[in-house]
Structure 1
Amino acid sequence: MKCLISFYLLTLILHLSSSADWCYQEQANNDVHCIGPELWKEVNAQCGGTRQSPVNIATKKTVLDERLTPFNFTGYQNLFNGTIKNNGHTVEVDVSQNIMAAVSGGNLGDTYKPLQFHFHWGTDAGAGSEHTIDGEQYPMELHLVHIKQRYNSLEDALNDPSGVAALGFFIEESNSTNTNYDQLIQALKSIQNADNITAIRNISLSQFILSEDKLTKYYRYNGSLTTPNCSEAVVWTVFENPIPLSREQLLAFSSQLKLSDGNPMVGVFRPVQSRNGRLVYRSSGPAVLASALLLLTSIITAFSLSHLN
């Protein structure tokens, strides 16, 4: 009897996998024809791998890595014209053809170029980030996706265990409006339905993230894409300092956008995955520079005093 039940369950899963799209848990709760995160491995076997993302970052268990130095951002200030699309699961800004920019340093081991950035969020400005810090979720998370400069496409990069570098930024609720996001949020009105796309002009990558002096504290681990095919080819960097958006700005995403099935686009995040023994490393941030300056000051002072005596 148990074998018969298992056979029918497997048949159902295979049928769903061939006839339905993957979706997030909130959708899966309301639609038996879409495949939620727990069954993504039936959509693509890689989603059941041992190096999946996102993860919970338990700060006391992170390992200090002095090699995690500040990044070198090139061209992030350059203005460009891009497109923003409702892809049925989130909003995505394509920058691959429109900007000469790159990131290196931070022990990435290579130079990476940006492809796109997108967001994950919850419901009514509630918990919605993919990564968590000590079990706590932020309202949103921004992912800026890069591939190694020598690759021509994401598909090429996914064949390399470190072909993709994803920069993750938490987004928190603020009492004031972040004017750098005004144009993007205004554009949401034009892409309310799945597959809608519109132009977004004269923007820069730097306006959507923090200033470089606030990007020295971060976490690093080896993981995957957080949507199917869940390819385990991603070097993850998750920054400690969050980006501020007002409550009204946060609500613009969940109140205006619709999923592929026409329902509100809410709860668009993958639950945290097991680390399976992976270590999460942390940078020393500005403390290294501060310590070096303090040491240099002490040496200069001692040298000066010795000459005065």
Structure 2
Amino acid sequence: MNKKVMLSGMAILASSMLVLGGCGASDDKAKEEKPKTTETKTETKTVKKTDEKQLLDWSYSGKTGPENWGSIKPAYKISDTGKAQSPINIKTSDTTQDAKLKIDYKYQPTMFKVTRKDQSVQAVAETTKGRADSKMTLGGKDYILKEINIHTPSEHELDGKKFDAELQLKHVSTDKKTTIVSVFVKSGKENLAIGDLPSLINDSKNGSTTDMKKIVSTLGLIPQDSAFYVYDGSLTTPATTEGVKWVVYEKPITMSKQQLQDLSSQLKGNNRPVQEQNNRVVSSNQ
């Protein structure tokens, strides 16, 4: 009888060990599978960030960032040596009032062809048969709207303050002079004037050129009843060529959080740091 009890005890003990062994194997398997899931997610994120090949020889960080633009090649040297570089911080208390400063806009609803290269977007205005080009008049000279560039956050500062984004509307006159109208953007009400530009940028692929599906109400991008500031500067991307007149509006326009997120998804951090004002005069219309 003692033998039977001993055998039964051994059987129970063996059975328990099998059950415990099974649980241990299951736990070990679960532990092994969890890291695999994490690794897969990490790999997916990495691929998303590196699947686009850099197209430009300059960028906004590292060895090809703004601090090194002037040494990338001779054509960019003015980035280091220029005395009238953009953007700048506009100190409103140091501006000179000029009541003669007036701008006349003759804008038309416009379609744009959008090209993205790295963190740079160029929305080029398309001509429409039977419709005049959008243009503005400053100092008695006409300038035709050629393109819109976008930076998130803003490049220019107002009394040391940056904004969520900055629209730069580039105009060129018949004698090849450039004037850029700069408009700050802050988070708020959805902007209907901008059309589908934000969502198009969000979905864009590097190096791609896409036609907008919705028209831009260009006049709706210009702040109403706002002071503006005028100064002589440069382009804000290489080769940062000087001889550019800037018109910077004080009052920002708004875009919704979603619109701003769409812009920053591809363009975040594409702002050149502010440059020295040196002896330049900044004029104000008010």
The TM-score range, normalised by the shorter chain, is 0.7 to 0.9
Deviation per CA, 1:283-305: give whole Å up to 9, x if none: 11xxxxxxxxxxxxxxxxxxxxx
When the two structures are superposed, what TM-score results if normalisation uses the length of structure 1? 0.68
Q: Does 1:85 align with 2:106?
A: no
CA pair 20-172 structure 1, distance change in 2 beyond 3 A: closer
- 1:1-309 equivalences in 2 (<5 Å): 21-25=57-61, 28=62, 32=63, 35-43=64-72, 44-48=76-80, 49-69=82-102, 71-74=103-106, 76=107, 78-95=108-125, 97-98=127-128, 100-105=133-138, 107=139, 109-121=140-152, 128-148=153-173, 150-151=174-175, 157=176, 163-174=177-188, 176-191=189-204, 193-206=205-218, 209-210=221-222, 213-215=224-226, 217-255=227-265, 257=266, 265-284=267-286
CA pair 40-137 structure 1, distance change in 2 beyond 3 A: same
CA distance in 1, matches of 2:92, 2:236: 21
CA distance in 2, matches of 1:59, 1:223: 17
Q: Which SS does the other structure have where 1:117 is aligned?
A: strand
CA distance in 2, matches of 1:81, 1:182: 9
Q: Structure 2 counterpart of 1:93, which letter?
A: A
Give, in angstroms, the shift of residue 202 of structure 1.
4.9
Q: Structure 1 counterpart of 2:112, which letter?
A: G
Give, in angstroms, the shift of residue 87 of structure 1.
2.2
CA distance in 2, matches of 1:219, 1:248: 29
CA distance in 1, matches of 2:170, 2:203: 24
Give, in angstroms, the shift of residue 81 of structure 1.
3.1
Give, in angstroms, the shift of residue 53 of structure 1.
0.3
CA distance in 1, matches of 2:250, 2:229: 7
Q: Is 1:190–1:197's contact at 8 Å kept on the other side of the alignment?
A: no
Q: Structure 1 counterpart of 2:68, which letter?
A: L
Q: Is 1:190–1:198's contact at 8 Å kept on the other side of the alignment?
A: no
Gapped runs of 5+ residues in structure 1?
1-18, 122-127, 152-156, 158-162, 258-264, 285-309
When the two structures are superposed, what TM-score results if normalisation uses the length of structure 2? 0.73
CA pair 181-101 structure 1, distance change in 2 beyond 3 A: closer
CA pair 180-79 structure 1, distance change in 2 beyond 3 A: closer
Give the corresponding residue for 1:12: none
Q: Is 1:104–1:111's contact at 8 Å kept on the other side of the alignment?
A: yes
Q: Structure 2 counterpart of 1:81, which letter?
A: M
Gapped runs of 5+ residues in structure 2?
1-54
CA distance in 2, matches of 1:182, 1:231: 30
Give, in angstroms, the shift of residue 268 of structure 1.
0.3
Q: How many aligned residue pairs are there?
A: 225
Give, in angstroms, the shift of residue 248 of structure 1.
1.8
Q: Is 1:62–1:280's contact at 8 Å kept on the other side of the alignment?
A: yes
